[in-house]
Amino acid sequence: MNYALFLFIVLIGGRLLAQEPSAQSLTILYTANTNGYLEECPCSKNGLGGIARRKTIFEQHRAGNTLILDAGNLFSPYRKNEVQEKLLVELTEKLQYSLMNLGEQEFSYGLEFWKQTGRKLNVVSANLRDKEGHRLTPPFQVFAFEGLRVAVTGVLSESAFQNLPDEVRADLSLVPIEDELSKTLLHIKNEQPNLIVLLLRSQDYAAEESIAKRFPEIHLIISTDERLAREKPLRIGQSLAVSSGSDGEKVGKLSLVIDTAKNQILSFKNALIPLSKSVKKSAEIESLVQSFKTSQQK
């Protein structure tokens, strides 16, 4: 082969390879609406749920580039059992979440209770403040993998915030979602992420669509909205919206392939994994749960 022709082929081939998208894989395990349950809710028709089963699923599916995220409402929606909620935080810490959004139910027992019990958890809220306007958490966090940067932020809607009793809300304040995201996303962009994820606690109809249309730079919304708990994610332009459902019955698993050159999702596969009786319970978690139940019977 002519040397000049050979060199031409090598140069052209190199340019073509350079133009190929840099594809990176990411797995996101996601949950929401634990609602204070250590085990499956008695209301569950098929006996789904439980922290012990959730830990097993996390261990089975945590591999490679993986984030474990929660959209909010870990605690019960009303005051029920402070000892149980403290244990729930202890167990949740063992699940090693990457980041958890603050829902209004995290304050069912008041701001001070949350500060005392929840400080060990990795939490985020861009728009929730104390009554003086001070942030309770950092507004976002960036996770760096090899060749991939993922920014995660979280917000709480005004309608969900209003679920709290007046005396609890008196210690808190809330910045409107659009106002806060306009500012937070500017800071996030400075971090040059390839993927932006929003954890959303809202009870407003079609809140995900409204946010995705207003902020198309958000690639993925993980919501507490049970209506989105389905295998096929809601597609809003180039954004996706998903939910794992209610009462911690299922764990969502979203597998993404991301073009890091264009910061776009190339492909995705979503699954909702039921925490059924066929899922073996973590012995460590189950032992702590049963000890607590025994102590409550005395």
Listed residue (271, 268, 182) closest to 219, CA to CA = 268
Q: Does domain 32-296 have CATH number 3.40.640.10?
A: no
Give every residue of the chain whose pLDDT is below 50, as ranges: 6-20
Q: Are 235 and 212 in contact (CB under 8 A)?
A: no
In this structure, the strands spanning 220-223 and 239-243 are parallel
Report pLDDT digits (tens) over 192-235.
999 999 999 999 989 999 999 999 999 999 999 999 999 999 99
The pLDDT value recorded for residue 45 is 86
Residue 4: per-residue pLDDT? 56
Q: Would you say the pTM of this structure is higher than 0.75?
A: yes
Exposed/middle/buried for 126, CB within 10 Å: 0-12, 13-18, 19+?
A: buried
CA distance 184 to 29: 24
Question: Quick one: 10 exposed, middle or buried, by C-beta within 10 A (0-12, 13-18, 19+)?
Answer: exposed
pLDDT, tens digit, for every residue of 96-122?
999 999 999 999 999 999 999 998 899
Measured CA to CA in angstroms, residue 268 lies from 27, 154, 233, 236 at distances of: 10, 22, 9, 14
